[in-house]
Amino acid sequence: MNKRQTISASLLLLAFGSAAAMATDVEVRNAWVRGTVAGQQATGAFMDISSKSGATLVGASSPAAAVTEIHEMKMDGQVMRMRAVPRLELPAGKTVQLGPSGSHVMLIRLKQPLLKGDSVPLALQIEGKDRKVETIEVRAEVRDLTAAASPAGEHKH
């Protein structure tokens, strides 16, 4: 993405919140972060990501946290376990939902509490089929710390 495209995407995000962000053929929608309380050091960021031709989420960063990782949750016997993964495949034509009980972006060593109504900038590193990595800038709305999913009535894919 060139500088002009980045500025255009940023202006679009400022105008429409986290409704949509595009890099090449990747779309990010419904980005949100679970709010925190004083002293809490980590939280999750959630969103829907799709790619027309297929891509891979290979990293993320945010000025709100010292460390940002891609995490997955999987059953290990009778126990649900969370672990960092180096990449998350975005199959062509499919929407990948990053949510509280599945894959998500983890914000670790938060620099301050994240309060409902705040906005958290996220930079997602996306690797295309050509192995070229682009960054998508997204603003994620901070929701109540008890938020479990998308608000009622919101269209889901």
pLDDT digits (tens, 9 = 90+) for 61-72: 999 999 999 999
d(CA 110, CA 45): 12
Q: Give the mean model confidence (pLDDT) for residues 145-155.
A: 57
pLDDT digits (tens, 9 = 90+) for 71-100: 998 888 899 888 999 999 999 999 999 999
Q: Which residues of 66-90 are buried (b: 16+ CB within 10 A; e: fewer)?
A: eebbbbeeeeeeeeeeeeeeeebeb
d(CA 87, CA 30): 20
d(CA 101, CA 118): 23
- Residue 28 is predicted with a pLDDT of 96
Q: Does residue 17 carry a pLDDT above 70?
A: no
Residue 5 CA, chain-centre distance (Å), reads 20
**Global confidence as pTM:** 0.78
Where are the domains positioned within the chain?
3-143
Report the 10 Å Cβ neighbour count for 129.
13
Between 24 and 109, the higher pLDDT residue? 109
Reported as a pLDDT band with limits 50, 70 and 90, residue 33 is: very high
pLDDT digits (tens, 9 = 90+) for 96-141: 999 998 999 999 999 999 999 999 999 999 999 899 999 999 999 9
Reported as a pLDDT band with limits 50, 70 and 90, residue 22 is: very low
Q: Does residue 19 carry a pLDDT above 60?
A: no
3-143 CATH fold: Immunoglobulin-like (2.60.40)
- Residue 152 is predicted with a pLDDT of 41
- Residue 8 is predicted with a pLDDT of 40
